[in-house]
């Protein structure tokens, strides 16, 4: 029987960059949350590992053996190979942790089929700073480079969310390189809702400098009376949270009518 997992879209409800590190990474504090939509991975036991890519954004992934799905498979011991079909529904280089979410889904597939090694967290972190959080795919706080995870009192589960992307990719390294270097302070205290509302994304201005369409998207989202509208991660995707699905759906229609080229996805926070 095949095993299917959704690679849930990751959003950063808040992202506070605290310092540059000597190793080229950054000290940060972030509130991770996950949307109940994303890429879909279907796995079958096989003699050897294989990956098949399809979907709207499959052509943006490059060669299959170089992406995070293949690399995640290589990190996990198993008694058999796995053939995985990846339906790539999330845009690439979009601040949604798409590749990390795919890797996280691979870890969950292997956990269900065979179990994970005790050091799975270290194996996940070796693939990327967002991967451990994406394995869990639950609201949590990330510190350090994002791999040091803490539980968050979740006051936002089930909240309707709208994702919007201008169909422009952004390099995470390029955005971080434009960060001012000034420490504007830690995450706020409180539950997820309070942290999100009182927090910020320190990469928003650097990303807008590289991709001005982000500012246009934020203006459009803020014009739909959301609870909160903000850029996710290093961009260029922005999100808006709403009080109910009707308001979210009305916002999606309003934005689609005025900016039909923009990609969007509707869902709810997990």
Q: Domain coordinates of the chain in residue numbers?
A: 3-151, 160-268
> What CATH class is the domain 3-151?
alpha beta
Q: What is the pLDDT of residues 199-222, one digit of tens each?
A: 999 999 999 999 999 999 999 999
CA angle at 95 for the pair 236 and 23, rounded to the nearest 5°: 115
**What is the model's pLDDT at position 63?**
65
Q: What is the mean pLDDT of the chain?
A: 96
User: Are the C-beta atoms of 33 and 65 separated by less than 8 Å?
Assistant: no
Q: Is 130 a catalytic residue?
A: yes
Annotated catalytic residue: which of 39, 87, 102, 130? 130
Answer yes or no: is pLDDT of 66 > 80.
Answer: no
Q: What is the pLDDT of residues 34-47, one digit of tens each?
A: 999 999 999 999 99
Q: Is 10 a catalytic residue?
A: yes
**What is the model's pLDDT at position 65?**
57
Answer yes or no: is pLDDT of 93 > 70.
Answer: yes
Answer yes or no: is pLDDT of 64 > 70.
Answer: no
For the segment(s) 160-268, the CATH number from 3.40.50.620, 3.40.50.720, 3.30.70.890, 3.90.1150.10 is 3.30.70.890
**What is the model's pLDDT at position 16?**
98
Cβ neighbours of residue 8 under 8 Å, at least 6 residues apart?
34, 35, 36, 37, 38, 101, 104, 105, 134, 137, 270
């Amino acid at each position: 029987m095949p095993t299917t997992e959704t690679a849930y879209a990751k959003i950063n409800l808040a992202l506070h960059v605290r310092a540059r590190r000597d190793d080229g990474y950054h000290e940060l504090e972030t509130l991770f949350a996950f949307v109940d939509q994303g890429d879909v991975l279907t796995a079958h036991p096989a003699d050897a590992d294989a990956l098949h890519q399809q979907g709207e954004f499959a052509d943006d992934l490059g060669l299959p053996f170089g992406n995070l799905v293949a690399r995640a498979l290589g990190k996990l011991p198993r008694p058999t190979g796995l053939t995985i079909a990846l339906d790539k529904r999330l845009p690439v280089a979009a601040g949604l942790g798409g590749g990390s979410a795919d890797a996280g889904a691979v870890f969950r597939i292997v956990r269900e089929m065979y179990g994970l090694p005790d050091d799975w967290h270290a194996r996940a972190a070796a693939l990327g700073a967002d991967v451990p959080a994406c394995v869990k795919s639950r609201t949590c706080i990330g510190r350090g480079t994002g791999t040091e995870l803490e539980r968050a009192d979740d006051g936002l589960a089930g909240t309707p969310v709208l994702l919007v992307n201008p169909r422009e990719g952004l390099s995470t390294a390029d955005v971080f390189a434009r960060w001012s270097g000034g420490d504007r302070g830690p995450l706020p205290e409180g539950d997820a809702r309070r942290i999100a509302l009182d927090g910020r994304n320190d990469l928003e201005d650097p990303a807008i400098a590289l991709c001005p369409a982000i500012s246009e998207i934020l203006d459009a989202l803020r014009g739909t009376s959301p609870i909160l509208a903000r850029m996710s991660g290093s961009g260029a995707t922005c999100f808006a949270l709403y009080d109910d699905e009707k308001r979210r759906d009305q916002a999606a229609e309003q934005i689609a009518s005025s900016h039909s080229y923009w990609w969007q996805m509707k869902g709810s926070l997990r």
